[in-house]
Amino acid sequence: MSDRSAAEDGAAVDALLVERLGLADRTLEAALATSRDEGLPDIAVSPLHGRLLTVLARAIGSRRILEIGTLGGYSTICLARAVEPDGEVVTLELDAHHADVASANLERAGLRDRVRIMVGPAAESLRSLRETEAAPFDFTFIDADKAAYPLYLDESVALSRPGALIVADNVVRRGRILDEGRDDPDVAGIRDFLRRVGDDPRLEGAATQTVGVKGWDGFALVRVRAREG
Ligand code: SAH
Ligand code: DHB
Ligand code: MG
């Protein structure tokens, strides 16, 4: 038997894992189909990573979840499934059309009532959340413009409860984080984000590289320490 390669077989392995774990999901497939029909880019998380978000958010008992970057609501559905009906997902999206598609997808998924979509630049929505939110967030998923990941880290830490989890998508980008990235603000943003996680004593950071239907990428997992560590 010969070794296989992640580049050639990663997608087939994803398909096998989805099949064995019973993750085929008509609600999520319908949300993707609608997003495609509406002209949205094909950059939602994969089915496996969507389930990972659900499992992680549920594992820490999330009641309030913050998402930065909604697109058509694929990951939002995965996050909304992790909270009880009286919980809330607040999701931030710049593009009004993306937000409309997400709203319809969440409605069809039966989850619209536990999701608040804030339309506009995430930096502004985050500022207003800081001024108005009484209760902190248990879980944050950062997945919008990569250049602003350092800002999104600061804001989501400020909005987090002790022990909260922050997950950041796309921190590897086919290895492009190795490029110094002086002329690529996305790469510079991700590199700065990672350095800040490492430098901040309030944070306990991890990251992992991934392969599969979305190719070579990775995500960071950041825990906001409780006072005792
Ligand atoms: N989380 C989604 C994918 C998000 S794609 C999923 O996995 O299903 C990134 C999204 O971030 C896009 O919809 C884009 O419009 C949005 N975005 C980009 N810049 C933004 C900004 N400054 N503020 C808020 N959203 C932004
Ligand atoms: C892009 C953005 C994403 O959030 C992602 O998961 C994949 C690709 C992009 O902007 O190309
Ligand atoms: Mg992403």
pLDDT, tens only, 80-92:
999 999 999 999 9
Q: Which atom of ligand 1 is nearest to the CA of 148?
A: 22
Q: Which residues surround ligand 3, an ion (CB under 5 A)?
A: 143, 169-170
2 C-alpha to ligand 2 centroid (Å): 33
103 C-alpha to ligand 1 centroid (Å): 14
Is 169 touching ligand 2 by the criterion CB < 6 Å? yes
87 C-alpha to ligand 2 centroid (Å): 27
Nearest-CA residue for atom 19 of ligand 1 = 145
| Digit-coded pLDDT (tens) for 48-57 | 999 999 999 9
Q: What are the strands of the beta sheet with 137-142, ordered from one edge? A: 115-119, 88-93, 64-68, 137-142, 160-168, 217-224, 203-210
Is 189 touching ligand 1 by the criterion CB < 6 Å? no
Q: Is the pLDDT of residue 182 over 90?
A: no
> Contact 51/23 with Cβ under 8 angstroms?
yes
Is 44 touching ligand 1 by the criterion CB < 6 Å? yes
Query: Given pLDDT bands bounded at 50, 70 and 90, which one contains residue 2?
Result: confident
Average pLDDT for the chain = 96
Ligand nearest to the CA of 44: 1
Nearest-CA residue for atom 11 of ligand 2 = 43
Ligand nearest to the CA of 186: 2
| Digit-coded pLDDT (tens) for 13-54 | 999 999 999 999 999 999 999 999 999 999 999 999 999 999
Please give the pLDDT value at position 228. Answer: 61
The residues, any chain, with a CB within 8 Å of residue 138's CB and separated by 6 or more, are 57, 60, 61, 62, 63, 64, 65, 160, 161, 164, 165
Nearest-CA residue for atom 1 of ligand 2 = 43
Please give the pLDDT value at position 181. Answer: 61
pTM beyond 0.95: the answer is: yes
> Contact 153/205 with Cβ under 8 angstroms?
no
Q: Give Cα separations from 189 to 14, 45, 70, 192, 217 (angstroms).
A: 29, 20, 19, 5, 15
> Contact 174/146 with Cβ under 8 angstroms?
no
